[in-house]
Amino acid sequence: MKNRIVLILFFTFLISQGFSKDGYKLWLDYQPIENSSLSNEVKPLFGGIYFFGKNPTYDLIQKELELASWGFFNREPEFKNLNQESHLWIGTRSELSQFLGLDHQAKIKDLGDEGYWRGPLNHNGESHYAIIGNTPKGVLYGVFDFLRSIQTETFDSTTEKSDSPKIKLRMLNHWDNLDRTVERGYAGFSIWDWHRLPGYVDPRYIDYARANASLGINAVSLTNVNANAWVLREDFIEKVKVLADLFRPYGIQVFLTARFSAPIEMGNLETADPLDPEVRKFWKERVDLIYKEIPDFGGFLVKANSEGQPGPHEYGRNHAEGANMLAEALAPHEGIVIWRAFVYSHEIDEDRHKQANLEFEPLDGKFLDNVIIQVKNGAIDFQPREPFHPLFGAVEKTNLGMEFQITQEYLGQATQLVYLSPMWEEVLQSPTYRPTSNATVASIIDGSSSNKNLTLMAGVSNIGTDRNWTGHLFGQANWYAFGKLAWDPYLNSSEIAKEWIDLTFGQNPEVQRNISSIMQSSHEAAVNYMTPLGLHHLMGRSHHYGPGPWVEGGRADWTSVYYHRADSQGIGFDRTSTGSNALGQYAPEIASNWSNPNQIPEKFLLWFHHVPWDFKLKSRRTLWDEIGLHYDSGVKSAREMKRNWDSLEGLIDAEQFSHVSQLLAIQIQEAEWWRNACLLYFQTFSNLPFPEEIEKPKGDLEYFKSLRFPFAPGIRPNW
């Protein structure tokens, strides 16, 4: 009994002192409002809340408002009846129709199923603040935006705001395996505890759903694209149903990855030929079974005929025939097939940069309307920087979706702070010149220039069982930024960063200024110390951790030497008409400009050109000197990031500070490792001295080559 009393007193002390911030609450940490004028404006709203209806989503909204009220004011909110004094009105347009004028009716109606309006409403001489959508889901998004405006101190009860998503499907792709390992996962194990489902429901699932709903993410693919057919079994569908039921009130649909060979592995068939009647029957029955348990099941995400995954090519069929077979099974239920464009021949016959276009361009217009082709942002594989994928603009009659990678497979994994939104923004704002002269990648994937209604932005998840969800605290910023850009692909990265900083670290101007500087410079720094001037695919084999520009042997396009092609004459991959002609897959305006090494943006120079070591860049320096300066600049930027961070000691939570400070120290070491290893290796071809201005690379090249990391996290398992 005495020990129990001591423990109670200890935890009471902890509560009174406040817990350190371990990152679990993400951007939903409703801290006390210190701005007195804001508090005076907001507090009455929480003292008189009225819901105009009842449904499971409103129940969740009520719980969220309770969390916020306790956080903001340390008190329970008050929920009123309509005839009582109510200040905050929450409901759908139809529920509030008698209180809305025609202008408001029309304005809100135009926002669609997921949009929301919030602002002041006057009724019978009394002023109310209303959050209204056309559906409860829209109301939910409006409430989260309302709470976010309070957290960021931008709330104004006198102004109206309306918003709606520009992209229909805003999805996280989990590369989670059924044994809870995560391919390219750097934040612990999978949060899906399949072994204990359906009987045990981890509360973490709810917090995961809250976080996604707060960003407007409305779809989740639960399992690895390197799919395991077992997830389609009846016992696993029962487990998936539990998650679908939990996520539904948050507006989140569940998708699964479908292994193309499932008819053989599960149905005891001798073939998975998409035109075989028995195969089509298998998929129809399997789909019907899923929808019986999960009426709003989203559909299938499929990786086929890529990296050894089974697909229609084994049977002499094409991607359209494979995708359409599944689409026909899903269509009666309004389900969707998301078919990945990350394909390349198991036999190397073309530059991988060209492979997706070679396979999908001839099929344009042959896919059913409920098929989306999910295209990576670049044609190789989530490299630190890639030119936009040439399929954007080359395909006009088929639904195209974007696939970004939130988990940092090639960008330092969970040891490095790299804010990815500037990279994504660079891709989204890239002009494609097709189908119209002013088309951008963003305008294609949101349908505004492609005239498509079925639109998608997917992000490969960086979420795991680590207490802070993402391994690195700043990995949360990438999850956050993805959600914001999926809602609106035209947003500005610096504004997204500022909002995340406000929600995570508060309003201190010095904190905001320094962290914003760190975030905005971090991607360019990583590109510089990893793969400057268009270099790519220089990482170690398999684990993709650290530099490996010397990797060779085995399949050529899984090596580094295949891509950088360094020799005594120069470096870079010739993708012009004198090489692989991958440039020919872009619009003529791009191909013409980029085919000239003096006109192409220098950030893509070595992606498309094999250039002599003494080639003069715009700086009038030689290519060799510029490579050295870029690598060295990346290291110096990493050091500056840590100096900026260390200046914040005492201004932010101690646990947050220590966590990031330690990881930034590792990042500096890894940046130096990248610089030293790459420059020492490339010097064996250039045979030139390092530029005078740089810190000379240290270390022994053979030592760097000898390093092995067989137990690095996130390695693809062998089935």
The secondary structure element, H or E, covering residue 255 is: strand 253-257
* ∠ CA 483-485-491, rounded to 5°: 135
Q: For residues 537 and 695, what is the distance between their CA atoms, to the nearest angstrom?
A: 24
DSSP string, 387-436: PPPTHHHHB-SSEEEEEEE-S-TTTTTTTS----HHHHHHHHT-B---SS
Q: How many angstroms separate the Cα of 49 from the Cα of each of 44, 88, 267, 347, 626?
A: 9, 5, 54, 64, 61
| Amino acid in position 236 | F
DSSP string, 490-506: T--HHHHHHHHHHHHH-
Number of other residues whose CB lies within 10 A of the CB of residue 488: 16
Among candidates 403, 471, 400, 462, which has minimal Cα distance to 435? 400
Copy the structure tokens of residue 324: 């359409």
Q: For residues 713 and 414, what is the distance between their CA atoms, to the nearest angstrom?
A: 10
End-to-end CA distance of the chain, in Å?
52
96 touches 134 (CB < 8 A): no
Q: For residues 394 and 49, what is the distance between their CA atoms, to the nearest angstrom?
A: 51
Which residue out of 163, 183, 381, 672 is catalytically annotated? 381
359 touches 375 (CB < 8 A): no
Backbone angles phi, psi at 402, to 5 degrees: -95, 140
Copy the structure tokens of residue 288: 């019907």
Is 695 designated active site?
no
Residues 514, 517, 519, 521, CA torsion sign: negative
Which residue out of 386, 409, 426, 524 is catalytically annotated? 409
331 touches 368 (CB < 8 A): yes
420 touches 386 (CB < 8 A): no
For residue 127, give the 3-state DSSP assignment. Answer: strand
411 touches 384 (CB < 8 A): yes
Number of other residues whose CB lies within 10 A of the CB of residue 430: 18
Is 307 designated active site?
yes
Q: For residues 604 and 594, what is the distance between their CA atoms, to the nearest angstrom?
A: 9
417 touches 667 (CB < 8 A): yes
For residue 302, give the 3-state DSSP assignment. Answer: strand
Is 409 designated active site?
yes
Which residue out of 66, 113, 193, 307 is catalytically annotated? 307
Burial class (CB in 10 A: 0-12, 13-18, 19+), 682: buried
Number of other residues whose CB lies within 10 A of the CB of residue 717: 12
Q: Over the range 171-201, which residues count as b (16 or more CB within 10 Å of their CB) and which as e?
A: bbbbbbbbebbbbbbbbbbbbbbbeebbeee
Q: For residues 677 and 539, what is the distance between their CA atoms, to the nearest angstrom?
A: 11
Residues of the chain by 3-state class (helix, strand, coil), percent to 5: 45, 10, 45
User: How many Å separate Cα 413 from the centre of its chain?
Assistant: 14
606 touches 572 (CB < 8 A): yes
User: How many Å separate Cα 23 from the centre of its chain?
Assistant: 18
Q: Which residues are catalytic?
A: 307, 381, 409
